[in-house]
Structure 1
Amino acid sequence: MALAQQSSPHARHARSTSNVMLWVMLAALPGLLAQVIFFGWGNLINVVWCMALAIGAEAAMLRLRGRPVKFFLQDNTAAVTGFLLGLCLPPLVPFWVSATAVLAAIVLAKQLYGGTGSNPFNPAMVGYALVLISFPLAMTTNWAEPGLVWGTAPGIWETLKVIASGQQTAVDAYTMATPLDQYKHNISSRTAAEVLQHPTFGEGIARGWEWVNAGFLAGGLLLLWQRLITWHIPVSFLAGLAIMSLAFGSNPDQYAPVSMHLLAGGTMLGAFFIATDPVSAATSHQGKLIYGAGIGILIYLIRTWGAYPDAVAFAVLLMNFAVPFIDYYTPPRTYGHHKARRGLPRKGQG
């Protein structure tokens, strides 16, 4: 009898991969709701568009590879990739930019490596990084100004028109730089008090962004409660970023404060939904701590001294490179042994 073979991730309990992916999307809904409330309809439209395109691209690639389309689509991994890209991309980004990101994620980063469980890099972050490098203007000038809750953001039909046409001039009144970008490029010539007068910061840490991060934090805690992820990567991720910020950015007149690093960008989305990808992340508990801390440290370094104000995608991809090395030197202790065997075997050992 011929059996369908699948590679990792392998569940240890009754939950199927499809069920886990559904929970991931459910947990991300509070963050998506906050994006819609504070930044308009763009991210919701992007989520729907990216999910549909991701499922279609996955089906086409499976058919080209001679794999059972229905069987593999039911794991919902393609839908989650599209969902995450829709959350990450600017709300008013042209549709062809998001389409490029999705196709790169599904075709290049996932299917060309063998499909679910075989990709060494996070597919969503590959797609995001590709369009950020290839279309920097579209990816940095289409962040919506916080406004829907105050009645100043475009309506759903106007948002659809902007995304479909890609005409930036139609939405100049609705767009501005992200808080991290605004702070980074102005703090060199102004004081922190002067920089924070910009409307993007509002009366809190970053107008609307702190609520978006709170939504993703709540969803991440739901994933932890459901035991779909472990605490090791999110905690070490946030700790690495916070420690670096406290160590090097104690003076807000020089660098962004720790509160802005944690609540003004894609930090919580990255910590709980992206870095915890079971395929491209480290596997052992010790390895996860190293992996998560490395991402947090790299995010701070790139945000502070690099060219990109958020940097979650690049930090995750760089640590994806390091995962085989981390896993090799941090294997879990095997049953019957007091210590885990690490590194190269000594002479005479098998």
Structure 2
Amino acid sequence: MLFPTASSPHLHTGASVGALMRRVLYALLPGIAAYVWLFGPAVLAQLALASTVALACEAAALALRGRPLAPALGDGSALVTAWLLALALPALAPWWLTALGTAFAIVVAKHLYGGLGYNPFNPAMIGYVVLLVSFPREMSTWPGARELLAQPADLAASLRLIFGAGGLDHVLALDALSAPTPLDSLRTGLGLGRGVAEIVASPAFGVLGGRGWELASLAFLAGGLWLCWTRTAAWQIPAGMLGALALTATVPWLVDPQHHASPALHLASGGALLGAFFIATDPVSASTTPRGRLLYGAGIGVLTYVIRAWGGYPDGIAFATLLMNIAAPTIDAYTRPRVFGHGPR
């Protein structure tokens, strides 16, 4: 007896875009909590602002394209883009900077290419790079870590600085609260001819990296490991990226430790762990084959170190990710698994 057979796939794993995106948002919560402790409640204001702009731009783009609003607004993809971009921006960045970067990420980097699933580049990193190239001064105004400030800005003061109209008092307040990031301090110190040991001996550095930044890195590591454990993110990408970054940083450090930072400092500072687990693992713009994911992650790690050590920016996660986004289709083409029943290619 013949039975009708439905077209594959025959089993549903229960996974959906909304469920996957919500897991990413949940995994970001420990890192967000660490950022709030480190930089104050301004982080929450930036997240709220980016989320509002992202949902508004998503709705406008869907309406212009004649697509239904409810499924796309409810899947959480716009919120993931907004949160990742907000966490990459200085906590006291002016409101228009956050709004502009978020709008560019959603409208241009996502919907201009056809929407979710069609974007060849990571939307959050496109928005970040556009802001970094266009407004370098505003993008470098990071607030000092809580441990380095006598009194971090409270919520009211943070809102005044984010939504303020400018003026001398505004600039003076920002200058009083601002401090270079650990990678900025390292880059500036090396440029002035100082040794790494002298630079990291300053109060801005802790045991592994920047004072306070270490906690945020560990929080993102915890959330990222949970994503890998739940198979929301492919473990090969963060393993390849962090392994390549550590290995690439180890060789110059062993040869000349006075002019090259240790691999631990590179891993615990900047956006290394946030990038490895939450940015590089974007399922749309990253490689999709098992071997390809390792190569893709390794490429991001090597490029990150090259940009940090010899490039024009203290951190290189965004540029490295976008460069490897370009290479992802080629990597997948040459690392496809052997088809069952066929001999090696």
TM-score, normalization: structure 2? 0.92
Distance 2:56 2:301 in 1: 34
Distance 1:207 1:287 in 2: 35
Q: How does 1:78-227 map to 2 (within 5 A)?
A: 78-140=78-140, 142-147=141-146, 152-165=151-164, 167-188=170-191, 189-202=193-206, 205-227=209-231
Please report how far the alpha carbon of residue 203 of structure 1 lies from its aligned counterpart in structure 2 after TM superposition: 5.7
Please report how far the alpha carbon of residue 317 of structure 1 lies from its aligned counterpart in structure 2 after TM superposition: 0.2
Partner of 2:5: none
Structure 2 CA distance for partners of 1:204 and 1:150, relative to 1, 3 Å: farther
User: Which sections of structure 1, spanning at least 5 residues, go unmatched?
Assistant: 1-10, 342-350
Amino acid at match of 2:231: R
Distance 1:330 1:290 in 2: 9
Q: Does 1:305 align with 2:310?
A: yes
Q: How does 1:212-291 map to 2 (within 5 A)?
A: 212-250=216-254, 251-291=256-296
Please report how far the alpha carbon of residue 187 of structure 1 lies from its aligned counterpart in structure 2 after TM superposition: 2.2
Secondary structure of residue in 2 paired with 1:309: coil
Please report how far the alpha carbon of residue 330 of structure 1 lies from its aligned counterpart in structure 2 after TM superposition: 1.2
For the Cα contact (< 8 Å) 1:180–1:256, is it kept in 2?
no
Amino acid at match of 1:58: E
Secondary structure of residue in 1 paired with 2:124: helix
Amino acid at match of 1:324: P
Distance 2:340 2:77 in 1: 32
Please report how far the alpha carbon of residue 268 of structure 1 lies from its aligned counterpart in structure 2 after TM superposition: 0.4
RMSD, aligned α-carbons: 1.6
Secondary structure of residue in 2 paired with 1:249: helix
Partner of 1:6: none
1:185-225 CA distance string (max 9 Å, x none): 11242122321233321465311111100000000011011
Secondary structure of residue in 2 paired with 1:187: helix
Distance 1:247 1:338 in 2: 39
Please report how far the alpha carbon of residue 42 of structure 1 lies from its aligned counterpart in structure 2 after TM superposition: 2.1
Please report how far the alpha carbon of residue 63 of structure 1 lies from its aligned counterpart in structure 2 after TM superposition: 0.3
Partner of 1:5: none
1:279-322 CA distance string (max 9 Å, x none): 00001001101100000000000000001111100000000011
Partner of 1:43: 43
For the Cα contact (< 8 Å) 1:184–1:256, is it kept in 2?
no
Distance 1:124 1:149 in 2: 29
% identity of equivalent residues: 46
Partner of 1:31: 31
1:94-113 CA distance string (max 9 Å, x none): 11111111011001100000
Partner of 1:7: none
Amino acid at match of 2:202: H
Amino acid at match of 1:242: A
Amino acid at match of 2:30: P
Distance 2:220 2:12 in 1: 26
For the Cα contact (< 8 Å) 1:145–1:200, is it kept in 2?
no
For the Cα contact (< 8 Å) 2:208–2:268, is it kept in 1?
no
Secondary structure of residue in 2 paired with 1:28: helix
Distance 1:83 1:27 in 2: 12
Please report how far the alpha carbon of residue 41 of structure 1 lies from its aligned counterpart in structure 2 after TM superposition: 1.7
User: Which sections of structure 2, spanning at least 5 residues, go unmatched?
Assistant: 1-10
TM-score, normalization: structure 1? 0.90
Distance 2:15 2:52 in 1: 24
Stretch deviating more after TM superposition (44-53 or 113-122): 44-53
1:232-251 CA distance string (max 9 Å, x none): 00000001100110012333
Structure 2 CA distance for partners of 1:321 and 1:256, relative to 1, 3 Å: same
Distance 1:92 1:258 in 2: 29
Distance 1:53 1:209 in 2: 27
Secondary structure of residue in 1 paired with 2:211: coil
Distance 1:327 1:106 in 2: 26
Structure 2 CA distance for partners of 1:234 and 1:17, relative to 1, 3 Å: same
